[in-house]
Structure 1
Amino acid sequence: MRVCAAPPFAADAPRVEQARWRAHDLLRLARLAPVPDEPAWVRGAFARAPFAVVRRAQAAAGFVAAGVRGTARSERFGTWIDVQDIESSISPESLLAVEPVAQRASLPAFVALAALRDSADLLNAFAWGPTGSAGFELAAQVPTISETSDLDLLIRMPERCDAAPIEALFEALTHAAQHARTRIDAQIETPSGGVALAELAARKPSVLVRASDGARLVADPWIPG
């Protein structure tokens, strides 16, 4: 997040792992509690689309770490949601059943998503779905992506996957991106946290894992940290 609010709970309050909501889930909110030093754009963004994206950070009981999106790439605000203000949640994989409005379906990110959804046998072995701008637009039903937007994907791999299928998956996504004239940025969700598919496909000796307690380099992301 570009900017993050101070937690509304004591610094020494016990932090808990939230099992009900996972990173990249979209939360529809009944209200967004104002916080000190909140950027000026936040209220307008929330009025336009009353959603927040679950982020990777631990919170005290009764709160969820989430982020609010504005209309510009620089407008990202990390905040803390009272669970009582959550009306519903949407996972990335559930968004595969949602179509963009007809006049926006020809945008490159949506073209790539449609092609993957309809024909990607490699992907269909996993739970997966769009995140980022494309996922937000599908969930909130407000224009969010542009002609130059990447397609961000989350692919869940709770079990270890061999190098060959990972490399084949990376090649398939690269081909789909080139055909749609966009870029696909895929993140693999492992027991340790999120890892870029590109790093796994490169067979690096260690990869950067993003988890709720921070980012770290690990040799094997399928061994929980």
Structure 2
Amino acid sequence: MDRVMERAPRPHDLLRIAPATPAFDDAPAWVAASLARAPFVVVRRAPRIGAAIPVGVRGMARGERFGAWIETRHIDAMLTPEALRTRAPDPARRDLPAFALLRAVAPIIDGCGLEWGPAGSAGFELACAMPAITRDSDLDIVVRAPTPLPREDASALFDALSQAAQKEDTRIDVQIETCDAAFSLAEFARVGLRVMLRHADGPRLVANPWAAA
């Protein structure tokens, strides 16, 4: 696993909670059971409270999501989407549609020279080795673009990924991450339209995500 303090955690990073970490305040009952099965939380895009990092806890059911904040001293390890892209799922689950699509899109995104990795259910399962995706799960991808990505390149990437997703009969959702915000590849690929740029302090409509940041 990545060393925890090499850099500040970013949205979509998965954090392993250290043993004996105090329970989150006001957490529903399922949170403790979920963390006992897999002691991982995902970094959320939200303001910090002091030095505490905004995180989310996943439950077994789709509607079980809980937002909280955690101090860095309670983080045991950190896994980035980029690190997870080289992990293989359990052999018995590798042919689930989201994992099959993950293998199919790898050479497409690699060919663009961009840093990227799986997020969402696929990323969580690869991190903790606990079943999280189903046959109906989308594939969530994070692509790092700290410098501007030409819109024509984004459109070509979107088209190639959409074709791969159609072939696997699975939906794909790609988030482009700038240095401090994110937006949808699907929105940015449509020439001339503004995109919804998501900051920790809230969303805004912009024409150029990098200039807005």
The one-letter amino acid paired with 2:41 is: A
Partner of residue 3, structure 1: none
**How many residue pairs were aligned?**
206
The answer as to whether partners of 2:109 and 2:157 remain within 8 angstroms in 1 is no
Deviations 1:45-70 (A, max 9, x none): 00010000000112133311000001
Match of 2:34, SS?
helix
After the TM superposition, which residues 15-164 of structure 1 pair with which residues of structure 2 at under 5 Å, given as runs?
A: 20-31=8-19, 32-117=21-106, 119-120=107-108, 123-164=111-152
Give the superposed CA RMSD.
1.5
Which stretch shifts more, 132-141 or 211-220? 211-220
Match of 1:93, SS?
helix
The one-letter amino acid paired with 2:26 is: D
The one-letter amino acid paired with 2:73 is: Q
Deviations 1:120-150 (A, max 9, x none): 1565410000000000000011000000000
Partner of residue 9, structure 1: none
TM-score scaled by length of structure 1: 0.87
The reply on whether 1:219 has 2:210 as its aligned counterpart is no
Gaps of 5+ in 1: 1-18
Partner of residue 184, structure 1: 172
Match of 2:92, SS?
helix
TM-score scaled by length of structure 2: 0.92
Gaps of 5+ in 2: 1-6
Identity of aligned residues (%): 46
The answer as to whether partners of 2:146 and 2:177 remain within 8 angstroms in 1 is yes
The answer as to whether partners of 2:187 and 2:193 remain within 8 angstroms in 1 is no
Tell me how far apart the structure 2 counterparts of residues 84 and 192 of structure 1 sit (CA, whole Å): 23
The answer as to whether partners of 1:123 and 1:169 remain within 8 angstroms in 2 is no
Tell me how far apart the structure 2 counterparts of residues 85 and 197 of structure 1 sit (CA, whole Å): 34
Aligned with residue 193 of structure 2, among 205, 208, 218: 205
The answer as to whether partners of 1:195 and 1:209 remain within 8 angstroms in 2 is yes
Tell me how far apart the structure 1 counterparts of residues 159 and 181 of structure 2 sit (CA, whole Å): 22
The answer as to whether partners of 1:26 and 1:90 remain within 8 angstroms in 2 is yes
Moved over 4 A (4+): 121-124
